[in-house]
Amino acid sequence: MALPRPLAQGSPEVALVTWEEGVCLSEVIRRPFTASSMEDSEIAARMTAAKMLARVFWKLLFRHRIALGGLCAGNVLLRTAMDDEDHYQVVLLRCGLCRQVDQATVDDVREIASAVHRGASPRELGELFLSRVHGRAGGRPEEVVDPEGFYSSIASLLGLTCLAESGGSGVTQPLRGALLLHRGLEKLRSHGVRASAAHLQVATAAVAAHGVCSRLDPFSDGCLYEALLEVEGGKF
């Protein structure tokens, strides 16, 4: 990953930085991701860019306590690495919506991700949300609306609930990435579970990152989960 280098501070609100070359990702993702209409090199470039962005997101969060907010394709360039033309480099042009995250919130995210990775039960995950998210936001256990329904909602999100409502059989497909985050926040609100501003900032930043990565590489679902395992898997 690369960033524009600061050259001078024109004013408290304006800084002069280096001009960076590359192909804007907004141009890249305009082309549909189909093997029949793309060359192998273009497919590889898009997959590489998605993986690099996903790794950058988690490294900034877990190692530097920074939530990479406002990530969009128009703020990212893709180019060949200056020291190796066989490799690609991602350039982040603007990071104005980044937020410093406190260590407690980072630990909460790591603990919840670890629980999901090891296959924790819906009740265990629910209790973790109540203690690490709801409790830190000032919520009390008695404020939760229909606790059993809350645990069932988590089971549904994880793809463990049978399709009884539609008369189908089997289990639902697990939600991942941005969709899982969005549905999770909806479930929290519907059951009166609170979330701090810091938790919401991290979740919103992850949704934006997943959106860009999944448009680059739809087949790997944005590779945000795989990148999380690469960055933090040894601690789970």
Q: Do both 20 and 82 map to the same domain?
A: yes
162 SS3 class: strand
pLDDT tens for the chain, 236 residues long, are 777 777 787 777 777 778 888 888 888 777 776 766 677 777 777 888 888 888 888 998 999 999 987 778 888 888 876 666 667 788 888 766 788 999 999 999 899 888 888 888 989 989 998 998 899 899 998 999 999 999 998 888 777 544 434 444 444 445 555 566 667 777 888 899 998 899 888 888 888 888 888 888 877 665 777 888 888 876 66
pLDDT at residue 82 in the model: 63
pLDDT at residue 172 in the model: 45
Closest CA to 118 of 63, 158, 150, 178: 158
pLDDT at residue 178 in the model: 57
Q: Do both 96 and 107 map to the same domain?
A: no
Confirm whether 131 is domain-assigned: yes
Confirm whether 236 is domain-assigned: no
Confirm whether 59 is domain-assigned: yes
Confirm whether 222 is domain-assigned: no
Question: CB of 157 within 8 A of CB of 171?
Answer: no
Q: Do both 113 and 185 map to the same domain?
A: yes
Q: Do both 10 and 59 map to the same domain?
A: yes
Q: Do both 96 and 110 map to the same domain?
A: no
Confirm whether 42 is domain-assigned: yes
Q: Do both 59 and 111 map to the same domain?
A: no
Confirm whether 29 is domain-assigned: yes
pTM: 0.80
Of the residues 100, 128, 158, the one at which a domain ends: 100
Residue 31 CB neighbours (<10 A): 11
Enclosing domain of residue 186: 103-202
Closest CA to 1 of 83, 61, 81, 74: 81
Q: Do both 74 and 122 map to the same domain?
A: no
Of the residues 56, 75, 100, the one at which a domain ends: 100
Q: Do both 94 and 158 map to the same domain?
A: no
Q: Do both 68 and 118 map to the same domain?
A: no
Question: CB of 72 within 8 A of CB of 66?
Answer: no
Q: Do both 108 and 194 map to the same domain?
A: yes
Question: CB of 177 within 8 A of CB of 214?
Answer: yes
pLDDT at residue 167 in the model: 46
Q: What is the CA radius of gyration of the chain?
A: 20
Based on the structure, what is the number of domains in the chain?
A: 2
CA 78, 79, 84, 85 dihedral sign is positive
Question: CB of 182 within 8 A of CB of 12?
Answer: no
pLDDT at residue 35 in the model: 65
pLDDT at residue 222 in the model: 55
Confirm whether 24 is domain-assigned: yes
